[in-house]
Amino acid sequence: MALQVQVYRGTPMAAHPNPNSLPWSTKQPMVCVSGDRASFVGGSSRRLSLKVRSSLDATADTSAVAVVGQVTEVCKDTFWPIVKAAGDKTVVLDMYTQWCGPCKIIAPKFQELSQKYLDVVFLKLDCNQENKPLAKELGIRVVPTFKILKDNKVVKEVTGAKFDDLVAAIETVRNS
C-alpha cells in the first residue's frame, strides 16, 4: 500500500477569504511523504529527507479473532486466518458496501442471527476498493451476498437481502 501526503504552508485555499491575495505559494509543499520517505522543505529551499515508519509497516495482524455472539468485521488480510481458525464451525460472511440500502436493512437482522446461532461464526466484509481482491476471489456479483463456509470452503451462497433464504441456508449447513 502506498501512501502519499503533502502538507502545505498557510491556510488552505478553500478556507482563505481571498485566495488570490495569498502572500506565499500554496503550491510549494512543506512536507512530502511518499512510501517510506519524507522530505521537508524549509523557507530557504533546504531539504531534509528521512525514513518514515507507521504501524502499517509491521506485518498485517492476521491473529484477529471472531467473537461468538457478534458480527466481526474482516478485511482481505484477516478473513482467511479467521476462517481457518473456525475449524469445522460454520462461517457466514456478509459481503456489503457502505452505500447499499438493502445491506443496511438486513444488517441488524444479521446481528440478531449472530446472537441466536452461537455455534456459527458471523463475519462481515466491506467490499470497498481495499478489499476488492478478496471480493473478486470469492466471486461477488451483487451486494449483499452471503457466503456460507464449512471446512474453509464456500458451500452455500445467498444473494440479496433475503432473510428467510439466509436462515434456511445456515440451518442446512449447520445440520450437514
Q: pLDDT tens digit string along 45-70?
A: 444 444 443 333 334 444 578 888 99
Q: Is 127 a catalytic residue?
A: no
Q: Is 103 a catalytic residue?
A: yes
pLDDT of residue 128: 96
Q: pLDDT tens digit string along 68-114?
A: 899 999 999 999 999 999 999 999 999 999 999 999 999 999 999 99
Name the β-bridge partners of 33.
Answer: 5, 38
Instruction: Quote the DSSP letter at residue 119.
Output: T
Instruction: Single out the residue of 91, 88, 92 nearest to residue 151, CA to CA.
Output: 88
Catalytic residue among 32, 75, 103, 127: 103
pTM of the model: 0.66
Of 126 and 29, the structure prediction assigns the larger pLDDT to 126
- The answer to whether the beta carbons of residues 87 and 66 sit under 8 Å apart is no
Mean pLDDT for all residues in the chain: 77
Instruction: Quote the DSSP letter at residue 127.
Output: -
Q: Is residue 20 predicted with pLDDT exceeding 90?
A: no
Point out the least confidently predicted range of 18-32, 62-76, 158-172.
Answer: 18-32
pLDDT of residue 28: 44
Catalytic residue among 32, 75, 100, 127: 100
